[in-house]
Amino acid sequence: MTETKTTEMNEITIATDVLIIGGGLTGVKTASDIAELGYNVLLIEKNSEIGNPKQLPGSIFGLNKGEDKGLQDLVDRVMTDDRIEVYTQMSLISVTGVPGDFNIRLSKGDDVIEYKVGAIVVATDFSLETLNEKYGLGLSENVITQSRMEAILALEEERKKILETYPRNIAFLVGFGQNATPLVNERVMRSILAISEIDGCNVYVYVSDIKVASDSLERMYKEGREKGAIYFKLKEIPRITQNGERLNIAFFDPVIRRNIELASDLLVIEEAICADPINRELAELLRIDLGPGGFLQNENVHFFPVHSNREGIFVVGSSRQVQNLPWAWTDVENVALEVKDLLGDGKKMVPKDTAVVDRGKCAMCLTCYRCCPHGAIYWDSRAIISSVACQGCGICASECPNNAIQIGGFNDIQIIEEIKKSVEQPGNGEPCMIAFCCENSAFEAAQMAKAFKMHLPTGLHIIKVPCAGKVDIHYIMTAFVEGADGVLVMACYQGNCKSERGNTHAGLRVDNVHRMLEETGFEKDRLRFATIASNMGREFSSIVLDLENRIRELGASPLKT
């Protein structure tokens, strides 16, 4: 079995300043926590103030009255902290380099400032989208947004004028214009509780699914109903028509099973809580993934909670998902640990040979730069792999057309040696199978199958690779040439690859080899590609046994000597 041995270490000096993008409350808290660890922080905000630069309504933070007390102090502290430089009206224009050594350029009007930072944290805000058009309604005095409702409730004068003058029916529409999140529902529930304090207001809520999968929401939902709010859970958008000053809402009530029409004086339309549109631009500048919904994190469990797909670039709070402030604060403390772990005291021990470019062989084709999922590769006159950013997956090594890259612990000579040794072992007539197993998934599943005494073929030889993306075509061919009866390439599931695309590269290479084998008349069934997870010992066993059965049908490899 190949042991990952990268014992020889180098000490390098890295930059320890930290750039935080986004001066909303989450960005402010991140600045404060990271500065507290002793690092210098640059906090940049596009707008002219920090704290809540977009003037988002307070309800979006998910706090009760009084719970937001310390927030202004926090903002003030950050403004005066010696370790924190706050730049408002400042934008990021370029980022080059690698973790521990990012070169960033910032601009404020025509001024351009350059900095070197060790790590970057993205803390962009939400943006709110009004959804009245999804309901086919224009906004007016009696068709208003959730934010407007909150503004009315917050101002004594407005409240008196609009809600307290005469008894009113107030309708909320939620979950028809979007797949709402708990936070969207929470805003409505908070408004309902505030309205329940006002005499003469009746509240009706038209909702698709009530999203209560967040702290205390079920209780808040119940409280609202106890205070008189009536919920109608509908499958379709209710029909809304103008009736003089009022609006009629027509729908089929699934509980009493009748068509109902209710008049309403004020219609409150849900808002979508969306990713900041600036995320798209940042994703490009930072070379990180833009995930579903425009949030800056792909749904890959290896990244949760605060990792992006690039080492040294982190995402927190609303930059990565819809979450309230208490959960964003949780992200912040996680990112503080990550930054400390990465930057330490500025002296970092890194393995000498995680991935090494043979400068004599490198032809500067930059295939490696393009295929590296970690953004770990840069260049001078030859490609260079950052030992801080490199995760050792080996995709670059396998893709390099000139074979100029070697991975420590998994170099080609070692692996070819291992293939040969495996095939040479006496098999007593049993099919000889080589399984190249990703150490994150298939290798673990194999260990599980062994520990749990699941059935495994006696002629199975497992070769550990750092990622299925490190399985060269040459390895597969060598296995067959040396006389293996079958070869398996086992990768992580789509979306579960620690290096994002290692499994895709592996699958494509197996496709290639299949085509080559077909052309030569060699049974392509002897080579299989499979995806698996670390906790699937049972599946591991059934995948390898299935190949063994197929090989028994095919007989020994024609290349066997």
Out of 160, 161, 222, 352, name the contact with another protein by CB under 8 A.
222
Q: How far apart are CA 359 and CA 366, in angstroms?
A: 13
| Residue 304 binds another protein (CB under 8 A) | yes
The DSSP bridge partners found for residue 239 are 250
Q: Is 499 in the site for another protein (CB under 8 A)?
A: no
CA distance 111 to 105: 10
**SS3 assignment, position 391:** coil
Please pick, from the candidates 172, 204, 251, 329, the single residue that binds another protein as defined by CB under 8 A.
329
Q: Which residues contact 179 (CB under 8 A, 6 or more apart)?
A: none
Nearer of residues 218 and 284 to another protein, judged by Cβ: 218
Tell me if 534 contacts another protein by CB under 8 A: yes
> Least distance (Å) from another protein to the CB of residue 290?
11
Cα angle value 166/172/174 (rounded, 5°)? 175
Residue 447 engages another protein in binding (rule: CB under 8 A): yes
Site for another protein in 81-120 (CB under 8 A): none
Q: How many residues are there in the chain?
A: 561
Binding of another protein by 537 (CB under 8 A) = yes
In the region spanning residues 507 to 526, those forming contacts with another protein, defined by CB under 8 A, are: none
Q: Which of 281, 452, 546, 549 binds another protein (CB under 8 A)?
A: 452
Can you tell me which of 64, 80, 381, 428 binds another protein, judged by CB under 8 A? 64
Which positions from 27 through 56 interact with another protein, judged by CB under 8 A?
37
What are the DSSP calls for 106-156, one per residue?
EEETTEEEEEEESEEEE---EEEEE-GGGGT----SSEEEHHHHHHHHH-H
Binding to another protein by residue 293, rule CB under 8 A?
A: yes
Asked whether position 219 contacts another protein by CB under 8 A, the answer is yes
Contact between 65 and another protein per CB under 8 A: no
For residue 305, cis peptide bond before it (omega within 30 degrees of 0): yes
In 449-492, the DSSP E strands lie at: 460-465, 486-491
Report residue 252 as tokens: 């089929």
Choose which of 164, 333, 430, 525 interacts with another protein (CB under 8 A): 333
**Distance (Å) of CA 469 to CA 387, 452, 531:** 19, 28, 12
- Beta-strand ranges (E) seen in 146-270 are 168-174, 201-207, 230-233, 239-243, 246-253, 258-264, 266-269
CB 133: neighbour CB atoms within 10 A?
A: 12
Please state the closest distance from residue 66 (CB atom) to another protein, in A.
Answer: 9
In whole angstroms, how close is the CB of 442 to another protein at the nearest point?
12
Q: Which stretch binds another protein (CB under 8 A): 124-132, 263-271, 479-487, 529-537?
A: 529-537
Q: Which range of residues in 134-142, 162-170, 197-205, 530-538 is near another protein by CB under 8 A?
A: 530-538
Q: Measured from the CB of residue 96, what is the shortest distance to another protein in angstroms?
A: 29
Interaction between residue 184 and another protein (CB under 8 A):
no
Tokens of 245: 């000053």
- Four-point Cα dihedral 389, 393, 394, 399, nearest 10: -100
Residue 41 three-state SS: strand
Interface residue with another protein, options 241, 402, 403, 494 (CB under 8 A): 494
* SS3 assignment, position 104: strand
Which distant-in-sequence residues (6+ apart) come within 8 Å of 103 by Cβ?
95, 96, 97, 114, 115, 116
Tell me if 321 contacts another protein by CB under 8 A.
yes
The nearest distance, CB 120 to another protein, in angstroms, is 19
Buried b (16+ CB within 10 A) or exposed e, 231-245: bbebeebbebeeeee
- φ/ψ region of 208 (left if φ > 0, alpha if ψ in -120 to 50, else beta) reads alpha
> Residue 75 interacts with another protein (CB under 8 A)?
no
Closer to another protein by Cβ: residue 298 or 387: 298
Contact between 326 and another protein by CB under 8 A: the answer reads yes
Closest distance to another protein from the beta carbon of 38 (Å): 8
C-beta of 181 vs 422, nearer to another protein: 181
CB 475 within 8 A of CB 414: no
Q: Among 142-150, 277-285, 423-431, 487-495, which window interacts with another protein (CB under 8 A)?
A: 487-495
The CB-of-295 to another protein minimum distance in angstroms stands at 5
Told to check if 227 binds another protein by CB under 8 A, we report: no
Span from 135-143, 320-328, 350-358, 510-518 in contact with another protein (CB under 8 A): 320-328
Read off the amino acid at residue 435. A
Q: Token pair 């590609």 is at which residue?
A: 529
Q: Is 535 in the site for another protein (CB under 8 A)?
A: yes
182 binds another protein (CB under 8 A): yes
- Please list every residue from 230 through 289 that binds another protein, using CB under 8 A: 233, 254, 257
**25 or 368: whose CB is closer to another protein?**
25
Rg (CA), the chain: 30
- The closest of 8, 88, 10 to 388, measured between CA atoms, is 10
Judge contact between 122 and 315, C-beta under 8 A.
yes
Is residue 215 within the footprint of another protein (CB under 8 A)?
A: yes
Provide, rounded to whole angstroms, the least separation between the CB of residue 406 and another protein: 26
Q: Considering the complex, what minimum distance in angstroms separates the CB of residue 65 from another protein?
A: 11
Judged by CB, which is closer to another protein: 70, or 109?
70
- Would you tell me which residues interact with another protein (CB under 8 A)? 37, 63-64, 67, 70, 179, 181-182, 209-219, 222, 233, 254, 257, 291-293, 295, 297, 299-301, 304-305, 321, 325-327, 329-331, 333-334, 336-337, 340-341, 440-441, 444, 447-448, 450-453, 492-496, 531, 533-539, 542
